[in-house]
Amino acid sequence: MIKVSAFQSVPPFAQGLVRDLRVRWALEEAGLAYEQKLLADGEKDRADYRAWQPFGQVPAYEEDGLRLFESGAIVLHVAGRSEAGEALLPAAPGPRARAIEWVFAALNTIEPQIQNLAAIDLFFADEDWAKARRPGAQEMVEKRLADLAAALGDEDWLADGRFTAGDLLMATVLRILRHTSLVAEAGLDDYLARCEARPAFGRGLAAQMAAFEG
């Protein structure tokens, strides 16, 4: 059985955003059953967990002796062994490469700028340095979102007319901005809504939220 680590509790502003959601969603899209390993306070710092996830973060993944960390790597692994065939990655080399390209665009180009702004807003808003830095941080996010919107154009999905792992990860990155109106202002709200309307997303989100309610 596949096992995925997740936090037992997080502050309300983070609920629905913790990165195990990415893996839960991918597993739901792929039709793969899993069980969760919920981490209580302090458990992420235990030696046995650090041997699984060296940075003490979530998610970590285990399957038949294979242990992985980092959400993007796990999503790509899940996509590659999907029982649903091409659920998250096309089989043809070209479309497959383009889907993977968008995985890295989400994690390397879009997410760092969004996370920078979110950190300012959610953790350091009252600091003088954050007040001075925020306009530039928002400007950079707006530029990245404008570039993304231009690349998407009138298409429903980022690559080859179908939902892929690239869309899955891009959607989870855009959701970090839910405390702002920047996604809508960039014209990406319909795209994000399409991603979130997928039944597999709903199941993954419900599973994460149920852990917090428990």
Where are the domains positioned within the chain?
2-87+200-213, 93-198
> CATH homologous superfamily for 2-87+200-213?
Glutaredoxin (3.40.30.10)
CATH class, domain 93-198, is mainly alpha
Please tell me the predicted confidence (pLDDT) of residue 81. 82
Residues of the chain with pLDDT under 70: 82-85, 214
93-198: same fold as 2-87+200-213? Answer: no
The answer to whether the bond into 59 is cis (omega within 30° of 0) is yes
Q: pLDDT per residue over 192-212, tens digit each?
A: 999 999 999 999 999 999 999
Cβ contacts of 150 within 8 Å, gap of 6 or more = none
Please tell me the predicted confidence (pLDDT) of residue 25. 98
> Of 83, 98, 108, 109, whose CA–CA distance to 161 is shortest?
98
Measured CA to CA in angstroms, residue 139 lies from 108, 114, 123, 128, 135 at distances of 18, 11, 19, 18, 6
Distance CA 72, CA 112 (A): 14
Q: pLDDT per residue over 1-31, tens digit each?
A: 999 999 999 999 999 999 999 999 999 999 9
Which pTM was predicted?
Answer: 0.96
Task: Give the 3-state secondary structure of residue 96.
Answer: helix
